[in-house]
Amino acid sequence: MADALAGGDLLTVFGRCAVDYEGRASSTLGPGDRHVTAKPDGTVLVHTDEGQQPVNWQPPGCSQRVERDADDDALRLVSTRANPDEELVVAFESVRQVSAFAVDDGESLSLTGSEADLRQRILESPGLVEPGFQPLVTERRTAAGAVDIFGEDADGNVVVVELKRKRVGPDAVGQLSRYVDALERDLHADATVRGILVAPSVTERARRMLAERGLEFSAVEPPGED
């Protein structure tokens, strides 16, 4: 088992265990049946029978080792990392299955429908934002961070576009607002800066917040399957 850990295999253990974590936060989990995965990149995942997220975990890059208790011969998986200093201990009281798999996987995921795809769509058809909109730069830096699309409208006004791939809430309004404020500062007071939130839809509270700040919304869907 220690060989598998050292040899680049993906290791899985199913059994009854208790889990302790100490690091950015602290947690304890009493005994129960769980599925534990230790990946060759240092990742550790502890899964119960419910939920998409692991109940405990350790990120890639961690050091992992298997210990066997001198007294009761019980199995323990210990994973540690520095910066931040964190430790995860999975203490098994019984083990039902241990497996080691050699993994051959050369393929990587191809995904469409992301914000990057929406940006591409806007750059190809700027009129989707509004007639006459002209993109000038993407990722333009401001004192408040990088603007998704920086451009100008049909009248030559500066336009800041913030993109979201799905329905937006107050957080996106805050983001757009920060960028508009920062640009008005950067460009002094000589230019009108319009802020347009581009997303499939907007929540009611976000719509009110946009109105209060003089910001706008334009409905555009991210590209679907092609």
Is 163 or 193 the residue whose CB approaches DNA more closely? 163
209: contact with a copy of itself by CB under 8 A: yes
Cα–Cα–Cα angle for 77, 78, 79, rounded to 5 degrees: 125
The structure tokens 């019984």 sit at 94
63: contact with DNA by CB under 7 A: no
Among 72, 105, 155, 204, binds a copy of itself (CB under 8 A): 105
170: contact with DNA by CB under 7 A: yes
Contacts (CB under 8 A) with a copy of itself, residues 175-194: 175, 177-178
Is 49 or 204 the residue whose CB approaches DNA more closely? 204
131: contact with a copy of itself by CB under 8 A: no
146: contact with DNA by CB under 7 A: yes
DSSP assignments along 166-213, one per residue? S-B-HHHHHHHHHHHHHHHHHTGGGS-EEEEEEES-B-HHHHHHHHHT
Among 3, 6, 7, 33, binds a copy of itself (CB under 8 A): 33
42: contact with DNA by CB under 7 A: no
Which amino acid does the sequence have at 91? A
Q: Which residues lie closer than 8 Å to 79 by C-beta, 6 or more apart?
A: 38, 42, 44, 58, 62, 63, 64, 87, 88, 89
